[in-house]
Amino acid sequence: MDDISDVLKKKIQPKQNKKIHSDIHYWTDIISSTFGEKNRFGMYLGIIKRIGVGRARQVFSEIKDSNIDNPGKLFVWKTSKKNMIITPKEENEETKK
């Protein structure tokens, strides 16, 4: 009979992607994999760098909860500059120009 510690040591560890270096890369990998667009990793990385991880997670959870045919297009549309909500600080900066 094997000891419990021996059984736990034998457990196969899942392979981690060695190209994931940061929180932004992690969420980009999760989002692109979930949407079935692993080949568009760079596009999602650029979007998430622009909008931030928090906003990307929020949009991702909204899309994941909905039952949509093409979630990648909706993610890009929801995160485009014209669809982002302007905060009061940004609005004040725009009126000064």
Note the pLDDT tens digit of each residue in 45-92: 999 999 999 999 999 999 988 888 999 999 999 998 777 665 555 555
Domain positions in the chain are 20-82
Q: What's the chain's average pLDDT?
A: 81
| Separation CA 78–CA 70 (nearest Å) | 13
Q: Which two tokens stand for residue 52?
A: 């931030």
- The H-or-E segment that residue 94 falls in is helix 88-96
pTM for this predicted structure:
0.67
